[in-house]
Amino acid sequence: MKFFLSTSLVLLCTLGCAFASTQTPWSSGIIITHDHQLLKGEIRYDYAHDLVMFRETEEAALQTLTTHQVSSFRYYDPEENVMHYFKTYAYQPTAYVTIPSFFEIVVEGEVAYLRKHNPYPYYAPTESRRFAVKERDQVSPHILCYDYYVYLNNEIIRASRFNKEVLPLLEDQNIAIRHHIKENKLRTYDIRDQIQLIQYTNEQLGSHPHTNLSASIRPS
């Protein structure tokens, strides 16, 4: 069966991390707080500190909101024609610590595929001569700059542990996941193929994957 990528794959083609700043540009968006307030205006996300800055207009007072205040937020990127959507999840980085944290939604459904910007520096392809890196050998910023996760059974699992921890849970759903992998020659360690598997899982479970992303952008 031929499997087509859904619009969620545009996240692998947008928002690189070749910026010196750890803040996104001001963009139109909305914030939903934990007490169900709706804030509509301009948003700027500081991914290094997990903070969302909000103002109703360019001249209005600035508010800085934390994960303890925000349930979800989204903002529009006009340059890439993409809507970036974030939710607050309880994340357990160690066995003894659980903290609320913002995660960007790549695929939304009963099983979600998430990502989070990491702190590692990235140099744009225009700087490749500086490191004598050939273009064909460059690694996508969507690999270098983001950590990917699967949200399944109320647990956030690193996508790097897909084969060991995620795949067995997907097999328990009785959706012929191994047959789908073999038929479509999917590589379970590859981010794009993991996205396909999560989309397939949601479709089989009757939870159709949903994103607000542009269908015109595809991964390179």
Q: Return the domain boundaries, the chain.
A: 7-204
Q: Give pLDDT tens digits for 6-57.
A: 445 444 444 444 444 788 899 999 999 999 999 999 999 999 899 999 999 9
pLDDT at 121: 53
Q: Determine the Cα–Cα distance for residues 77 and 83; give it in Å rounded to an integer.
A: 6
Residue 133: pLDDT above 80? no
Q: What is the pTM of this model?
A: 0.79
Q: Give pLDDT tens digits for 179-203.
A: 999 999 999 999 999 999 999 999 9
Greater confidence (34 vs 81) lies with 34
Minimum mean pLDDT among 52-66, 118-132, 174-188: which range? 118-132
- Strand 82-94: give its sheet, edge to edge: 63-65, 51-55, 38-46, 27-33, 70-77, 82-94, 97-107, 112-117, 146-152, 155-158
Section 99-103 average pLDDT: 96
Q: Which tokens is 163 given? A: 């084969």
